[in-house]
Structure 1
Amino acid sequence: MTVAIVDGYATARFLVAALAERGTQCVHVASDPHPPAAYQRVFNPAVYLHDLGHHEDIEVIATRLRELGVGQVIAGAESGVQLADALNHELGTPGNDITRVAARRDKFAMAEQVRASGLAAPATVIAGEPDQAVDWFTARGGRPVVVKPPASAGTNDVSVCRTAEEVASRCAALIGTVDFFGATNEHAVVQEFLDGEEFMVNTVSVDGVHKVVDVWRSVRTAGPHGAPICDFQEPLPLTDGDVRQVAAYTLDVVTALGIANGAGHTEVMLTADGPVLIESAARLMGGFLPWVSEKFSGTSQIQLLAVALTNCEEFQRFSEADAAYSQHVRNVWLINRRPGPGREDGWQQRIESLPTFVALTTKVVPGQTVPLTVDLPSAPGFVSLAGGLAEVERDHRLLREMEGGGLYVG
């Protein structure tokens, strides 16, 4: 069987390699002729049997995929979710519920779909004008809210607002602008601010059977402009009580959103009243190195998706016992405190000298501007640490101390 990947950027490049190891070739389809520069930088068309590029007519793409013997279409990035669903529907290949495709991308439709399924979801409104958002905010007693684009990713233009003035200002700044993927934000999504502990749950599904690969605790910190930025993420034991509760809720969310085949990445806030959806995506988790997970747990979401696409019986045998981590792993996001030209000296070596260092992923280019970190796309990268909890926390602190001195910029 040949697998088609729509927007094979970011972590999808690891899926191509994992499938190749299992004797399966991939072809590539682009949902847009001009993907974000961050995606283009890591895309290598040479790893595909064919790179079909972009075409406006879905029937033309589907015809070509049939000719190539494609047995399933996978979204390689958030931008490819809807086209992948549409192509599976057109081809009659295993995919997701096409009637709920909007709820897998639009954050307002997502919350409404989850709530309609009887699950906890944040109170949400869409606002085409700032006044609409302010009226809703005021009617709710002025409690904190989150303002976000309807269908972007990576905390892009996400803000926490605590006053009517902040709500109006952020909505005015958002509506009519272009999101990370180049789409115009016709409106702003405004949601109640959820207080609690944040988790990320990675799943793989085959014909409606869902498997939880891993659950990560996600910790954010306030950015310079009020938007939350990532501090670190770490996988937790699937036997933990809170993790079990969040995982069970997530499986219900995945079902409610019509995700029946492929990967899922769901962010959940465990509040005092229980798990509540932040948002979910019918794709792989971004911002991690699968080989790090595989080194310390024996598997990864990439590996299980490759199994699901090539050996259904092996997928069915997978259990949570197959994903126990042997050491404490933490992905720490790099935070640049001031913009400037990228350093040419050995800042990487300073990070690599940390005793728990495992891997560094960075997009810093010497001499090129390193922006202020205000969201996930503007982060300089991330470092993977592993060892005992105390040692990992020590090296995490040391990294933040290094950054205080302008680690990445001259």
Structure 2
Amino acid sequence: MNHIVIVDPFSTGKLYAPLLNARGLNCIAIISRPDLPAHFTQDLVAEHFTQVLDWRPELVETLDALGVVAVIAGCETAIHLTDHLTEALGVRGNSPATSDQRRNKYSMQQALDRRELAHIDSHLVTHPDQIAAVLTTIAPDQQYVVKPLNSAATQGVVFATGRAAVEQALLNAGWDQRNDLGEVNLGFVVQPFISGPEYVVDLVAFNGTYHVATVCRYTKILRNGSPFVYDSLDTLDPNDTDLQPLLDYARQAAAALNVLHGPLHMEIIWSPQGPVMIEAGARLHGGIAPRLFQQVYQPDLLSVAIDSYLGRPAPAGSGCSRQLRHGRIGFFWAERPSTFEGPGFEPMVEAGKVPGYGGHRYFVATGAHVPTTIDFATCPGLFWLSHDDARQLDHSAEQIRALLWSQ
């Protein structure tokens, strides 16, 4: 009884196995689909696993005989199969009957509505023949968001004002195309644009009670004619009483999505009417964030998630992790189209001397074309910082951008 299954251990899902191995547990990787894109599967670190298996229904009997104690969703593509396996193997998990509420961007808003929680009125479009009917609901001067039901990040997201622009966005949408997750787009959702500061809350469920592991706030700036350019994601103290309405809502939303075990990553707008969830995913925060959180919070998100999967009790205390330091993920932006040439050796050395510097990552390869940054999808890279003094983060961010991104 010392085997852990990790479905699609990619993105931040690859962080689980080394920590579980250190606890004497054997990890088995299951790849949910044979057509997962290479930019996902290249994340696999095979030596962290006793077996790497392609999913087939017969595996349930094999896994049951091994004595699996937990099934973990590594990333978005793993949600449905993870829920199926937890039920089939009789281990802690979330019900496969409600998997869509934790993956489908229309279903999760419907789940909030059923609990009479703040939500976004959403219109589902699963076929181009439905566009005309949806357009009758569109206000002439209101701004809308058109997004795929099952994509990740901001891929395929279009902002449109008025009926004609929404129609054009839907006509130009990627019908029957595969997204960056390798999944065929199941359809699109049309939602009124909700304004207000954007927060990220990472919860971990312990049999239906929720520990808040992190709270962060995005800062967006007007740049290159777009108000959707990301400047930073800053960590906040979950024990700050000013954040209590946000966290109360997040816990209620998690319950509405029927999250009983494991992590839930939530994006929430604090609108003038109060917090409203944009979307959520039943997995770890993506990117480099969990590594930064290890330096900022105690206990950190990854450790709390592992405890939940292993059936350990929730951390004692307030129901929130403590912020020990200040953290920031900063984003690079391109002022004009260019060819990426990299920063060179000396700037890289100097960046390492900047107070609080944790690392950086480019999303473009040397010699690649870089478009003008207008949103997260066109962001060319990021960096991360942590420091005892919050004011130092501003100075360090300015230095890092000057050293590692200049046009």
- TM-score w.r.t. structure 2 length? 0.89
Q: Counterpart in 1 of 2:148? A: 149
Q: Counterpart in 1 of 2:397? A: 396
CA gap of 1:151–1:134, structure 2 versus 1, over 3 A, is same
Q: Counterpart in 2 of 1:249? A: 249
Name the SS for the 1:112 alignment partner. Answer: helix
Name the SS for the 1:317 alignment partner. Answer: coil
Q: Distance in 1 between matches of 2:315 and 2:310?
A: 12
Q: Distance in 2 between matches of 1:304 and 1:296?
A: 14
Q: Distance in 2 between matches of 1:364 and 1:350?
A: 21
Q: Distance in 2 between matches of 1:301 and 1:220?
A: 24
* Contact persistence 1:156–1:375 (CA under 8 A): no
Q: Counterpart in 1 of 2:62? A: 64
* Contact persistence 2:214–2:297 (CA under 8 A): no
* Contact persistence 1:95–1:262 (CA under 8 A): yes
CA gap of 1:270–1:178, structure 2 versus 1, over 3 A, is same
* Contact persistence 1:174–1:185 (CA under 8 A): no
Q: Distance in 1 between matches of 2:405 and 2:49?
A: 42
TM superposition shift of 1:350:
5.1
CA gap of 1:296–1:404, structure 2 versus 1, over 3 A, is closer
**After alignment, is 396-405 or 282-291 more displaced?**
396-405
CA gap of 1:360–1:394, structure 2 versus 1, over 3 A, is same
TM superposition shift of 1:348:
3.5
Amino acid aligned to 1:4: V
Amino acid aligned to 2:241: G
**After alignment, is 33-42 or 5-14 more displaced?**
33-42
CA gap of 1:30–1:197, structure 2 versus 1, over 3 A, is same
Q: Distance in 2 between matches of 1:291 and 1:126?
A: 36
* Contact persistence 1:3–1:72 (CA under 8 A): yes
CA gap of 1:404–1:262, structure 2 versus 1, over 3 A, is closer
* Contact persistence 2:6–2:71 (CA under 8 A): yes
Name the SS for the 1:17 alignment partner. Answer: helix
Unmatched 5+ residue regions in structure 1?
none
TM superposition shift of 1:379:
3.9
Name the SS for the 2:20 alignment partner. Answer: helix
TM superposition shift of 1:253:
0.9
Name the SS for the 2:107 alignment partner. Answer: helix
* Contact persistence 2:92–2:309 (CA under 8 A): no
What do residues 207-260 of structure 1 show as CA deviations (whole Å, max 9, x unaligned)? 212211111112334687969454321111112234221111111111111111
**After alignment, is 358-367 or 169-178 more displaced?**
358-367
Name the SS for the 2:85 alignment partner. Answer: helix
The answer to whether the aligner puts 1:33 opposite 2:27 as a matched pair is no
* Contact persistence 1:223–1:375 (CA under 8 A): no
Q: Counterpart in 2 of 1:166? A: 165
1:108 maps to which of 106, 109, 112:
106
Q: Distance in 1 between matches of 2:33 and 2:371?
A: 26
CA gap of 1:148–1:221, structure 2 versus 1, over 3 A, is farther
CA gap of 1:83–1:225, structure 2 versus 1, over 3 A, is farther
Name the SS for the 1:235 alignment partner. Answer: strand
* Contact persistence 1:217–1:233 (CA under 8 A): yes
Q: Counterpart in 2 of 1:211? A: 211
CA gap of 1:26–1:223, structure 2 versus 1, over 3 A, is farther
**After alignment, is 162-171 or 226-235 more displaced?**
226-235
TM superposition shift of 1:14:
1.3
* Contact persistence 2:295–2:386 (CA under 8 A): no
What do residues 131-187 of structure 1 show as CA deviations (whole Å, max 9, x unaligned)? 34432223xx53111111101111111122123332122222214132221223242
Name the SS for the 1:101 alignment partner. Answer: helix
TM superposition shift of 1:318:
5.8
Q: Distance in 2 between matches of 1:225 and 1:164?
A: 22
Amino acid aligned to 1:102: D
CA gap of 1:60–1:142, structure 2 versus 1, over 3 A, is farther
Amino acid aligned to 1:110: M
Q: Counterpart in 2 of 1:136? A: 137
Name the SS for the 2:212 alignment partner. Answer: strand
Amino acid aligned to 2:366: P
Q: Counterpart in 1 of 2:72? A: 74
Unmatched 5+ residue regions in structure 2?
none
TM superposition shift of 1:266:
0.8
What do residues 5-39 of structure 1 show as CA deviations (whole Å, max 9, x unaligned)? 11111111111122222222211111221323332
Q: Counterpart in 1 of 2:85? A: 87
CA gap of 1:254–1:189, structure 2 versus 1, over 3 A, is same
Amino acid aligned to 2:204: V
TM superposition shift of 1:386:
2.1
* Contact persistence 1:238–1:320 (CA under 8 A): no
Q: Counterpart in 2 of 1:354? A: 354
* Contact persistence 2:144–2:191 (CA under 8 A): yes
Instruction: Give the CA RMSD over aligned residues.
Output: 2.6
Q: Counterpart in 2 of 1:24? A: 25
TM superposition shift of 1:373:
5.0
The answer to whether the aligner puts 1:236 opposite 2:228 as a matched pair is no
What do residues 46-74 of structure 1 show as CA deviations (whole Å, max 9, x unaligned)? 2112111x23x4x3131232133212211
Count, aligned residues: 399
TM superposition shift of 1:100:
1.3
Q: Counterpart in 1 of 2:97? A: 99
Identity of aligned residues (%): 23
CA gap of 1:403–1:243, structure 2 versus 1, over 3 A, is same
CA gap of 1:123–1:64, structure 2 versus 1, over 3 A, is same
Q: Counterpart in 1 of 2:324? A: 326
Q: Distance in 1 between matches of 2:43 and 2:348?
A: 20
